Amino acid sequence: MKKTIRFTLNGQAVAVKAESHQMLLEVLRDTLHLTGTKYGCGEGECGACTVLVDGASVDSCIYPVFEIEGRKVTTIEGLVGERNQLHPLQKSFVENGGIQCGFCTPGMIMSAKALLDQNPHPGPEEIRQGISGNLCRCTGYVQIVESIARVAEKESANE
Ligand code: FES
Ligand code: FES
């Protein structure tokens, strides 16, 4: 069955025709050409496809697109600010070595955003818990946790 799905994507209203068997990731990448969100395992195991739906992190590879009707979706592209300013999390990953090959990075950053939105001052264990659904083959996670912690510290300093 094919139907038109309407939702908000990175602050813009969108309408896409999709099939009932399609997952959100496929529609984001193949129909809407937002390829920042990665296809890793396709089975909800690696977190490379993480996006936010109504502020919560989800694995878009196993999220049926028909369920997205009327919801708010944020992808990694939606974090970039005016004049292509990187989001503080993106900057921190660059500055603190949280990126090596970069394949896990968009999903990792979206999970980190969901975490910091809920808990602006997480400790290292809470950060590890927050990104526990995201696998990284390169970094050993230390620099990733560091990258997220630096953003939390800066926000505390600005309060
Ligand atoms: S691609 Fe979705 S969890 Fe791996
Ligand atoms: S930086 Fe390569 S998988 Fe994480």
Q: What is the mean pLDDT of the chain?
A: 96
Terminal CA-to-CA distance of the chain, rounded, Å? 50
Residue pLDDT, tens place only, 35-61:
999 999 999 999 999 999 999 999 999
To which residue do tokens 């292509």 refer? 84
5-26 average pLDDT score:
98
Reduced to 3 states (helix: H, G, I; strand: E, B; else coil), residue 73 is strand
Report how far Cα 65 is from the mean position of its chain's Cα atoms: 16
Ligand showing the shortest atom-to-Cα distance for residue 44: 1
Residues in the chain: 159
Q: Whose CA is nearest to atom 3 of ligand 1?
A: 44
Domains and CATH numbers, the chain: 2-78 (3.10.20.30), 82-158 (1.10.150.120)
pLDDT at 159 over 90: no
Number of other residues whose CB lies within 10 A of the CB of residue 137:
11
CB of 61 closer than 6 angstroms to any ligand 1 atom: yes
In this prediction, residue 154 has a pLDDT band, given cuts at 50, 70 and 90, of: confident
CB of 26 closer than 6 angstroms to any ligand 1 atom: no
- pLDDT value, residue 158: 72
- pLDDT value, residue 157: 73
Residue burial 10-34, b: 16+ Cβ < 10 Å; e: rest:
beeeeebebeeebbbbbbbbeebeb
112-126 average pLDDT score:
97
pLDDT at 79 over 90: yes
Give the CA angle between residues 70, 57, 112 to the nearest 5°.
Answer: 135
In this prediction, residue 118 has a pLDDT band, given cuts at 50, 70 and 90, of: very high
Sign of CA dihedral 120, 125, 127, 132: negative
CB of 99 closer than 6 angstroms to any ligand 2 atom: yes
- DSSP labels for 112-133? HHHHHHH-SS--HHHHHHHTTT
CB of 136 closer than 6 angstroms to any ligand 2 atom: yes
Nearest-atom number in ligand 1 for the CA of 45 is: 3
